[in-house]
Amino acid sequence: MSAIRHALTTKREDDFAQWYQEVVSAADMAEESGVRGCMVIKPWGYGIWERMQRLLDARIKAAGVQNAYFPLFIPLGNFEREAAHVEGFAKEMAVVTHHRLIADGKGGLIPDPEAKLEEPLVVRPTSETIIGDAMSRWVQSWRDLPLLLNQWANVVRWEMRTRMFLRTSEFLWQEGHTAHENREDALKETMRALEMYRAFAEEDLSVPVIAGEKPENERFPGAVSTFSIEAMMQDGKALQAGTSHYLGTSFAEAASIRFQDREGGQQLAHTTSWGVSTRLIGAMIMTHGDDDGLRVPPALAPWQIVILPMLRDNDGDAALLDYCESLRGAIAAQQVFGEPIRVLLDSKPGKAAAKRWDWVRKGAPVIIEVGPRDMEAGKVSLLRRDQLWGSDGKPAFQGPSRDDTAQSIGAVLAEIQQVLFAQAAERRDANIVRGVSSFDELAAFFAEDKRYPGWVEVQWSRPTGAELDNVVERIKALKLTFRNVPLDAAPADGECLFTGAPAVERIYVARAY
Amino acid sequence: MSAIRHALTTKREDDFAQWYQEVVSAADMAEESGVRGCMVIKPWGYGIWERMQRLLDARIKAAGVQNAYFPLFIPLGNFEREAAHVEGFAKEMAVVTHHRLIADGKGGLIPDPEAKLEEPLVVRPTSETIIGDAMSRWVQSWRDLPLLLNQWANVVRWEMRTRMFLRTSEFLWQEGHTAHENREDALKETMRALEMYRAFAEEDLSVPVIAGEKPENERFPGAVSTFSIEAMMQDGKALQAGTSHYLGTSFAEAASIRFQDREGGQQLAHTTSWGVSTRLIGAMIMTHGDDDGLRVPPALAPWQIVILPMLRDNDGDAALLDYCESLRGAIAAQQVFGEPIRVLLDSKPGKAAAKRWDWVRKGAPVIIEVGPRDMEAGKVSLLRRDQLWGSDGKPAFQGPSRDDTAQSIGAVLAEIQQVLFAQAAERRDANIVRGVSSFDELAAFFAEDKRYPGWVEVQWSRPTGAELDNVVERIKALKLTFRNVPLDAAPADGECLFTGAPAVERIYVARAY
């Protein structure tokens, strides 16, 4: 087997963090903007986000949730109402204090001291309080419930250390906010959103996840319970890929969301919120990327198929372009995942080989090259991104006929979608460790210098308050975090790894993003 | 003819401004948020915006323009670079000065004095400068041009007097930003975007518009030339519904967008920008609304057809619901405008008549009511929003068979789309006055107390600088503005209404939003 010359300079096993940055850059996903903590999402990265939006939005609408839009600015006072919420968010927000600039007399501009706001405005870090205000106006009677809202928006949480897609001061997300008559309905909605996220991650992103409840110390500020989907990255770390919160009545109380119940009494609504963000793009990169760049699951790829004509700048180019355009049309007339196939004929100037590697790094699922000899034989040269290298260390081109390609390409895309999921699920399952039964064993496991430390499923007594704080401190010293209590875990049957008390459930411990 | 009892309390002819507010509220489009100058866009209003986004986005992508996302925050310094641009925007922007809140010791929160930003950040009023920074990194050679970008985003321009959709501090829009090798290419793109907006307004919104060039005093700050589409509202006022700017090389110079040209020399790129916003929703309301509420063009309607079963809370309801669900399925399997028909079976609790009027006010294009007698006869009761009242002063229900309805409803929707356009175009054309040849005549025309003052097309000498300022002052005293110089106007053949010099072109004068 020959040595493969990979398309990236950094390999995952050599420096995963550096590799991640290289993929983001080499796949043309995003870059630093020059504005502290904010990134520019470039067309290929944003195109993937648009696909995520479209697919998740269809799931959201299918559940009867309606999109709406609420203000970017939240009056400072809103944050003073819900104590636990303030505690969790107060530290890191962008604050608008002036509404005008004036010349400083030295050729520059300054905030106009005459235009200072009486009450500062906070750029939304999340919208529970402002949407709660609207709900208090819209909900009068039990007949107005459930009220199921969602917003696609930008939010800001000031961050000192940022990382493209994973942690930026401004990011894009959706936030669902719902109000219900009682605890049972609200919890049902919390779990519906969680299951929606699981299906979205696994079916559309090909990212296997574990759905479960976060421990008390990881709850959303002010929530009664927080659930998450957790994904394992290729360095064995966990990434929280989506959350769903049951908020009880505390936000309803702060915003006064009250309704006349079926018996004529006044009740506080039970609310939920749930969200996923552009962080999912980071999860996708670290799940599917390889040493040649990104591999985009076909359901998310802005272009699922890229056709590259091998132009020679001669008289034969016109016929070759016709052949490629006819192929493009035939493929675009096919469907996969219930949508027309997205196929690009890339006839921009540039050498075909250079363009091929650009698209490999960007992770287009299928690249089809067509040269004069392919055309004469009625064939194409087809490269699957998930089967990039042959055993000879060269790109593994296949040579199907043009007609076969047009007919079967949808099935190929569907297969790639499955392959990416299966590869990730296999890796994830191989790196979950069970049966660790003492804290020392846990510490020893993570002390080993392994490429994939993976996750450890432990049994615990679900400590709360100060007892939990103590446990969290102990694992924090090992740079570990609690991820979640999986919904489908086996029942506990031993003692708590941390307290020695009888265990009541199983929880994942892992390093995390 | 009986007196019609309209669904709104305010009639257009009695108080147009009050009527507008009532439609926004009665059609459940938007409401005040409690945050100064910001509105909440409610699900029906936001659903219409989502439809606009989807339809315009397809036109943008078809032109080869790629979506991307740039930071919400723009460093203050960016606004100091392009002098004319500062001049135009400096007065009304939201300024972020702190990045943290702390407790004030009295139970409240204040901006943390320790967390004052060294350089304040401005919440984007538009993104020319920040996108220019990115372009300067991305453009090296003529091969990188044209660079065609678009962003869907929220922007903020601090407004003292606000009006739902028409003027709010925060609004939603798209902003196209492109860079080109030379003036000719950039101007071609400016005109392409303008034509795209014309087609979008007329075909998708059923809003007839006039495309033309804005006079110098109405140019975007820093632009070489600004073009617009202008629509006439039902009170005769003009509304600028979209703009497209040729920016020359001044923004490229400020952001240093330079490239190696085909001859190896260094050149500044020529840039353009173009945008439409949630203001279009206001334009749609004031174009199509009537004394019964909104009328949404079918291409924009989140639900094009609403089926209302006349439930009796008895044993017959199940069969009626089955009948309606089967009808819903049959309609949803049909297409109009190249998309599946969007049909809602509204079986929420509530009286059918009350629900009917809710949907009339919201402007659903077709309402289908189904009672037990309709079902027995294999029929439906169908109400077209554009033919609401019969000559007897009652709702003009038609009684087609269920099967005919399912088959022909797409054609009905396409017809309604045309009817709304034709009605608006007829009204617009009837209210454009030509042949006014002196300033006194112009003043006299607008001095009349007419419901539809309409627009006057005058000939002028295209004055500039101080001479133009003087002309603008004179018409401003009459509460008039220049709208645009229509692209398809007849050539000038007289003298300038304002200066007496030979006229060089025709321009619209009107009251405006």
pLDDT band at residue A86 under the 50/70/90 scheme = low
Work out the average pLDDT over A98-127. Answer: 93
Calpha distance B257→B250 (Å, rounded):
10
Are A170 and B71 inside 8 Å of each other by CB? Answer: yes
What does each C-alpha distance from A69 to A72, A169, B145, B468 come to in angstroms? 9, 21, 36, 41
Quickly list DSSP for A440-500: HHHHHHHHS--S---EEEEEE----HHHHHHHHHHHHTTT-EE--EETTPPPP-SB-TTT-
**Ranges in chain B, pLDDT < 70:** 1-2, 83-90
Pick the CATH number of A432-510 from 3.30.110.30, 3.30.565.10, 3.30.43.10, 3.30.70.120: 3.30.110.30
How far is it, in rounded angstroms, from Cα B252 to Cα B270? 7
Chain B residues whose CB is inside 8 A of the A86 CB are 109
- Nearest-CB residue to A50 (from B67, B111, B137): B67
* First and final C-alpha spacing in chain B: 36
Element (H, E) at B155: strand B147-156
Q: How far is CA A326 from CA A335, A398, A399, in A?
A: 16, 20, 18
Interfacial A residues in 423-482 facing B (CB < 8 Å): none
Cross-chain residue pair A92–B100, CB shorter than 8 Å: yes
Nearest Cα residue in chain B from A99: B94
Distance from CA of A503 to the nearest CA of B (A): 40
Residues of B in contact with A35 (CB under 8 A): 71, 73-75, 121, 130
Q: How far is B121 from chain A (nearest CA, A)?
A: 9
Which two three-digit tokens encode residue A434? 């069970």
Say which DSSP state B34 is in.
S
Quote the CA–CA distance of A125 and A92 in Å, as a whole number.
Answer: 9
Instruction: Say how many CA atoms lie within 13 Å of B211 toward its Cβ.
Output: 17
Instruction: Among B33, B101, B134, select the one facing A71 at the smallest CB separation.
Output: B33
Tell me if A202 sits within 8 A of A283, measured CB to CB. no
Chain A CB contacts of B139 below 8 Å: none
pLDDT computed for residue B83 by the predictor: 67
pLDDT (0 to 100) of residue A1: 47
Q: Which residue has the tokens 């132009």?
A: A311
Choose the closest CB to A108 out of B80, B108, B122.
B80
SS3 A355: helix
Q: What is the pLDDT of residue B135?
A: 98
Query: Which structure tokens are listed for B422?
Result: 């034709």
**B111 touches A: beta carbon within 8 Å:** yes
Are B68 and A156 within 8 A, CB to CB?
no
Please identify among residues 169-188 of chain A the ones whose CB lies closer than 8 Å to any CB of chain B.
Answer: 170, 172
Residue pLDDT, tens place only, A269-298: 999 999 999 999 999 999 999 999 999 999
Structure tokens at A439: 């804290």
Nearest CA in chain A to B138: A42
Cis peptide bond prior to B71, omega within 30° of 0 = no
The CATH number of domain B16-95+127-288, selected from 3.30.930.10, 2.60.40.10, 3.30.300.30, 3.40.50.720: 3.30.930.10
Q: Please tell me the distance in Å from B76's CA to the nearest CA on chain A.
A: 7
Residues in A closer than 8 angstroms to B137, CB to CB, are: 31
Residue-wise DSSP of B41-83: E-HHHHHHHHHHHHHHHHHHHHTT-EE-B--SEEEHHHHHHSH
- Chain B, residues 278-297, CB within 8 A of chain A, namely none
- B108 inside 8 A of chain A by CB: yes
> For residue B312, how many other CB atoms are within 10 A of its CB?
12
The CA-atom distances, in angstroms, between A26 and each of A280, A285, A286, A307, B139 are 18, 12, 14, 20, 17
- CB contact (8 A) between residue A68 and residue B349: no
* Tokens read off for A242: 């989506």
- Structure token pair of residue B38: 């910001």
Q: How far is CA A444 from CA A436, A439, B318, B348, in A?
A: 10, 9, 64, 59
Its pTM stands at: 0.96
Task: Closest CB to A101: pick one of B93, B102, B149.
Answer: B93
DSSP state of A220: P
Alpha-carbon span A409 to A321, nearest angstrom: 20
pLDDT tens, position by position, A188-238: 999 999 999 999 999 999 999 999 999 999 999 999 999 999 999 999 999
Alpha helix segments (H runs only) across A39-82: 43-62, 76-81
pLDDT in tens, A25-41: 999 999 999 898 899 99
Q: A-contacting residues of B 23-82, CB under 8 Å?
A: 31, 33-35, 38-43, 46-47, 49-50, 66-76, 79-80
Single-letter code of the amino acid located at B322 = D
Question: Among A49, A91, A107, whose Cβ lies nearest the Cβ of B100?
Answer: A91
- The partner residue sitting opposite A47, judged by closest CB among B42, B67, B158, is B67
**Rounded CA separation A359/B181 (Å):** 26
Report the residue from A68, A73, A98 with minimal CB separation from B41.
A68
Cβ contact, residue pair B90, A102, below 8 Å: yes
- Interchain pair A133, B33: CB under 8 A: yes
pLDDT at position B88: 65
Which residues 338-377 in chain A show a CB within 8 A of chain B? Answer: 349
Is B79 in contact with A170 (Cβ distance < 8 A)?
no
Task: Give the rounded percent of residues in chain A with a pLDDT score beyond 70.
Answer: 98
Q: What is the DSSP string of B376-443?
A: HTTB-EEEEGGG-B-TTSSB--B--BHHHHHHHHHHHHHHHHHHHHHHHHHHHHHTEEE---SHHHHH
Mark which residues 149-168 of A lie under 8 Å from B by CB: 149, 153-154, 156, 158
Judge: domain B305-416, CATH 3.40.50.1820: no
Band of the pLDDT at A479, cuts 50, 70, 90?
Answer: very high
pLDDT, tens only, B304-328: 999 999 998 888 899 999 999 999 9
Contact check, Cβ <8 Å, A122/B101 = yes
A392 DSSP 8-state letter: T
Closest to B478 (Cα-Cα) out of B498, B502, B494, B493? B498
Task: Give residue for tokens 């002098």.
Answer: B83
B462: left (phi over 0), alpha (psi -120 to 50) or beta: left
Select the residue from A25, A69, A124 to test the B interface by mutation, using most B Cβ atoms within 10 A.
A69
Kindly report, residue by residue over A163-196, the tens digit of the pLDDT: 999 999 999 999 999 999 999 999 999 999 999 9
Q: What is the DSSP letter of A163?
A: B
Q: A321, A383 in Cβ contact below 8 A?
A: no
Q: Residues 77 to 96 of B: which have CB under 8 A from any A CB? A: 79-80, 86, 90-96
Q: What fold, for A305-422?
A: Rossmann fold (3.40.50)
Choose among B35, B50, B79: nearest Cβ to A75.
B35
Confidence bin at A349 (pLDDT 50/70/90): confident
Residues of A in contact with B29 (CB under 8 A): none
Identify the pLDDT of residue B86. Answer: 66
Tell me if A201 sits within 8 A of A279, measured CB to CB. Answer: no
Whether B135 and B269 have beta carbons less than 8 Å apart is answered as: yes
Q: What is the pLDDT of residues B329-382, one digit of tens each?
A: 999 999 999 999 999 999 988 888 999 999 999 999 999 999 999 999 999 999
Average confidence score pLDDT of chain B: 95
- Burial of residue A338 (CB within 10 Å: 0-12, 13-18, 19+) is exposed
B134 touches chain A (CB under 8 A): yes
Highest CATH level, class, for A16-288: alpha beta
Structure tokens that stand for B9 in this block: 């309390």
Element (H, E) at A101: strand A101-103
**For residue B28, with 0-12 CB atoms within 10 Å meaning exposed, 13-18 middle and 19 or more buried, which class applies?**
middle
> Which pLDDT does position A89 carry in this prediction?
62
The H-or-E segment that residue B102 falls in is: strand B101-103
Distance of CA B313 to the CA centre of its chain: 43
In what helix (H) or strand (E) does residue B283 lie, and over which residues does it extend? helix B279-288
SS in 3 state form for A106-149? CCCEEECHHHEEEEEEEECCCCHHHHHHHHHHHCCEHHHCCEEE
For B55-75, give one letter per residue: b (16+ CB within 10 A) or e. bbbebbeeeebbbbbbbbbbb
Contact A99 B93 (CB under 8 A): yes
What is the predicted ipTM?
0.96
Check CB contact under 8 Å for B34 and A67: no
Kindly report the nearest CA distance between residue A102 and chain B, in angstroms. Answer: 7
Spans of all domains in chain A: 16-288, 305-422, 432-510
User: Over chain A, what is the mean pLDDT?
Assistant: 95
Whether the CB-CB separation of A44 and A302 falls below 8 Å is answered with yes
Q: Are B122 and B94 within 8 A, CB to CB?
A: yes
What are the start-end ranges of the E strands in A157-296?
170-180, 210-213, 225-232, 238-248, 258-260, 266-268, 270-277
Give the pLDDT of residue B500.
Answer: 95
Taking CB atoms and an 8 Å limit, are B67 and A75 in contact across chains? no
Main-chain phi, psi angles of A319, to 5 degrees: -65, -40
Instruction: State the smallest CA–CA distance between residue A74 and chain B in angstroms.
Output: 7
Q: Is A133 on the interface with B (CB under 8 A)?
A: yes
Cβ–Cβ of A92/B103 closer than 8 Å?
no
